[in-house]
Amino acid sequence: MDSANHSFDVVIVGAGLSGIGAAYYLKTHCPWLSYTILEGREAIGGTWDLFKYPGIRSDSDMYTFGFSFHPWKNPKSIADGPSILAYINETADTYDLRKNIQFSSKATNASWSSGANSWTLKVEKTTDGSSRLITCNFLFMCSGYYNYDHGYLPEFPGFNQFKGTIVHPQKWDTSLDYAGKEIVIIGSGATAVTLLPELAKKAARVTMLQRSPTYVMNLPREDKLANSLKKILPAKLAHGAARWKNILMSLAFYKACRRWPDKLKAFLKKQVQKQLGD
């Protein structure tokens, strides 16, 4: 272990969307504080750099999912993974945050001392296995909720006897040829909803297995109002207006679902029937 003890006011764990956002606010609102970002991988982006499955995209519009301080310029409000990754990298470079990132540096242990009023972190260098200690007064966890080494996989009886190919989206092999295959997707969350239409373009048949009904509403990929605002307003003002418009609409829709669940269910089903026909 490297016995050199490096001390910071703040240590941010993770250089994904949240970590880059945290670094920006520390730099702009607390410029007197020293900080560093620990990133276990060799690249910025977190989720958006890790996942490579077909059709990966956001399940929220980028005006609310993105940063309030850095305008989303792409005309697509529901963005694909590579575009989001480019946006995160662009943000880090625009505000000169990359120099504060320690890549291939994974925090493996954190202990708090009330006497010293500080955290001591054990940090492992993923390239050679060496480790060192870092201390800080504030530990800012921006590591997401994924296990980056192993995605969640339930136990299925007969799993090992299955003769076909089993793929977890977190470990997607980009060279996998699924053209003409019969595919079953287990689950109906955001990843599954994104995967299904993309796989269906080449596969012979795709079947989704879900435990409970999921209601889906098809929205346009581009936000016409947001794109119109970009043409007449400064970038930050247009971004802010689109952001608040979408936040308020989401809140209103959520409250309507809570208040009139049967009416909203009927509305959603009617929209699906319109698009799918018989």
pLDDT value, residue 128: 93
Which class for 239: exposed (0-12), middle (13-18), buried (19 or more C-beta within 10 A)? buried
Q: What is the largest CA-CA distance in the chain?
A: 70
pTM to 2 decimal places: 0.88
Note whether 61 and 75 are within 8 A (CB): no
pLDDT tens by residue, 209-233: 998 878 888 888 888 888 898 889 8
Spatial distance between the Cα atoms of 35 and 224, rounded to a whole number of angstroms? 40
Q: Once rounded to an integer, what is the mean pLDDT over residues 126-146? A: 92
Tokens of 261: 């669940």
How high is the pLDDT of residue 4?
45
End-to-end CA distance of the chain: 66
Q: Give the strand order in the sheet containing 105-113.
A: 101-102, 35-38, 2-13, 131-141, 118-125, 105-113
Q: What is the pLDDT of residues 54-86, one digit of tens each?
A: 999 988 899 999 999 999 998 989 899 999 999
CA separation for the pair 120, 33 (Å, rounded): 18
Q: Where are the domains of the chain?
A: 2-141, 159-209, 224-276
Q: Say which residue the tokens 């400064």 belong to.
A: 234
More confidently predicted of 230 and 35: 35
Is the confidence at residue 5, as pLDDT, over 60?
A: no
Q: Which of 272, 276, 256, 252 is nearest to 264 (CA)?
A: 256
Position 82 scores a pLDDT of 94
d(CA 114, CA 87): 39
Local structure of 223: helix, strand or coil = coil
Domain 2-141: give its CATH architecture: 3-Layer(bba) Sandwich (3.50)
What H or E segment, with its residue span, contains residue 225? helix 224-232
**Residue 238 pLDDT greater than 80, yes or no:** yes
Helix, strand or coil, per DSSP, at residue 11: strand
Query: For residue 66, with 0-12 CB atoms within 10 Å meaning exposed, 13-18 middle and 19 or more buried, which class applies?
Result: buried
Tens of pLDDT, residue by residue over 149-189, are 888 888 889 888 999 999 999 999 999 999 999 999 999 88
Percent of the chain topping pLDDT 90:
71
Helices (H), 81-213: 81-94, 190-200
- Look at residue 3 and tell me whether its pLDDT is greater than 70: no
**Rounded (5°) CA angle 103-105-108:** 155
Long-range contacts of 49-53 (CB under 8 A, 24+ apart): 49/16, 49/85, 50/146, 50/148, 50/170, 51/81, 51/169, 51/170, 51/172, 52/81, 52/172, 52/174, 53/169, 53/172, 53/191, 53/194, 53/195
9 close to 34: Cβ distance less than 8 angstroms:
yes
CA 190 – CA 194 distance, rounded (Å) = 6
1: confidence class by pLDDT, cuts 50, 70, 90: very low
Structure-token pair, residue 58 = 């956001």
**How high is the pLDDT of residue 175?**
92
Query: Per residue in 97-125, pLDDT tens?
Result: 999 999 999 999 999 999 999 999 999 99
Whole-number average pLDDT of the chain:
91
